[in-house]
Structure 1
């Protein structure tokens, strides 16, 4: 599947027009990973944004516990656009996985040049983080209710 088609379906790029999407696609390079390959290593300083075009990947802790499985259209590294901190988990390919890599420095340059692109991306990231916080609060509340204090 083409990078632009996957971008159009992804929450992070909602609200961008065709020209803005084309500008983002122009930054992307496609990388292929085999099963078991590490796509992202926990604690790495790399803050590039990644978009899974095809295949699956597992998000794992440093102790190799699987946190989630992600697939086509999933984004890796969106929080790094904001805080530029080291990676918080390992991401490992399950089978063959095709990933579009968007260099964070070049994406930040694009956002600095186009305020409407920046506004749309940052608003979408804010919505995502709010959703994750709500989910974490529900999970914490559930764990505490079960005596997980």
Structure 2
């Protein structure tokens, strides 16, 4: 995938939709492009959060440890962002993320992520919207589990 193709993909992600193309090009250029094979982990639950990841292509599974073993709590695909909670809240990773096939990501370091947020307040709003939507989905799942 070329730099211009990565920029086009980034423009389709709500988090980055309002950022000018020249800044997106810089983001794509300064991010590390990583490829994972099925079963490889981007990070483990409990790891230090040093970066967020944007899925360029492929799918991944979000997994958490429980007393009964590890369970899948979400699936991620092209355009999804993962790993931002640990860097925003300065807490260990809240889940593990594993490739479920060939997976291509852009890794955005914590420093670059915070620079983007400070330069583009719109990103902060989109992050809040995404986190609020995730919280609502979690609450629905919790209510359903408690009503069984």
On whether the aligned pair clears a TM of 0.5, the verdict is: yes
Matching residue of 1:94 = 100
Q: Superposed, which structure 2 residues align to 1:1-149 within 5 Å? A: 1=1, 2-62=5-65, 63-112=69-118, 114=119, 117=120, 119-144=121-146, 146=147
Structure 1, unpaired ranges of 5+: none
Cα distance, 1:127 vs structure 2 = 0.9
Contact 2:117–2:124 (8 Å) recurs in 1: no
Secondary structure at the counterpart of residue 44 of structure 1 = coil
Contact 1:27–1:107 (8 Å) recurs in 2: no
* Distance in 1 separating the partners of 2:44 and 2:116: 26
Count of equivalent residues: 142
Normalising by structure 1, report the TM-score. Answer: 0.83
Structure 2, unpaired ranges of 5+: none
Post-superposition Cα deviations, 1:19-51, rounded to whole Å, max 9, x if no partner, equal 332232232110111111111111110330101
Contact 1:47–1:86 (8 Å) recurs in 2: no
